[in-house]
Amino acid sequence: MSDTNTTQMAVRTDDVWKIYPMEPEPVEAVRGLTLAVEPGDFVAMAGPSGSGKTTVLNLLGGLTRPTRGRIWIGGEEITDMSDKRLAYLRMERIGFVFQAYNLLPVLTALENAEFTLLLKGVPAKERHERVRALFREIGLEGLEDRRPGKLSGGQQQRVAVARAVVADPALVLADEPTANLDSTTSAALLDIMDRLNRDHGTTFVFSTHDSRVMDRARRLITLVDGRIESDVRRDTTDAAP
């Protein structure tokens, strides 16, 4: 595989396997994944529970390492990258939305959402302005000072999404981002993500069971038993508005 091909992609994998040593036999969570995600893609990965969707996201984000195979992010191979370098790359290039929120309980909603901006050295005034503006868009205005324990599940998910996108990362990996949201809030969040994608070229890869996310996607990948069963790209005019 040439370097020219890898540098043209936001994410690329070559024959990636993830095998967990289990008894009585190993579990092949991802089997021979070869995938290229172009910059600006808006991708949904669908499939039944146990199909490997979350494992694939974790591999793409460098949160888990492949048993074998190779992975590139923006042309830079991360397969054997040091933990320190991987952490820096994630901070600079990737936003994560986890199904379990992963908010810090001792921080307020605003502090959780601005955490990546803080790590990147953005001044406090700018951090607060960016987070507050985003909170107004996604229905969290007035909740800035609440800690996660005082927020509903849907509100916590919105804070997690805000944290992922507020720093304008090149790539956002989202694991079931609308799972705990009502239809109105889901639509608002998807509007924000769609705008970031179209206006800023942010690449999105979703793991989802939600038909609303699939309808928005301009590329739909179906996983079954850790393999790609289908990969359908649609024109932007075909995707739901």
Tens-digit pLDDT profile for residues 178-227: 877 788 878 888 888 888 888 888 899 999 989 989 999 999 999 999 99
- Angle value at C-alpha 161, between 132 and 192, nearest 5 degrees: 75
Domain borders along the chain are 40-59+80-233
For residue 235, what pLDDT band results from cuts at 50, 70 and 90?
low
The stretch 18-37 carries a mean pLDDT of 93
For residues 140 and 133, give the distance between their C-alpha atoms in angstroms, rounded to a whole number.
10
Superfamily of domain 40-59+80-233: P-loop containing nucleotide triphosphate hydrolases (3.40.50.300)
For residues 170 and 191, give the distance between their C-alpha atoms in angstroms, rounded to a whole number.
17
**Tokens 């008894």, located at residue:** 23
Mean residue pLDDT across the chain: 89
Bigger pLDDT: 239 vs 99: 99
Please give the pLDDT value at position 46.
95
Task: Please say whether the beta carbons of 105 and 156 come within 8 A.
Answer: no
Bigger pLDDT: 195 vs 31: 31
Q: List the single range of 4-8, 39-43, 152-156, 190-194 with lowest mean pLDDT.
A: 4-8
Amino acid (1-letter code) at residue 2: S
Q: Both tokens of residue 45?
A: 């990965």
For residues 57 and 175, give the distance between their C-alpha atoms in angstroms, rounded to a whole number.
7
Tens-digit pLDDT profile for residues 143-154: 999 999 999 888
Please give the pLDDT value at position 238.
47
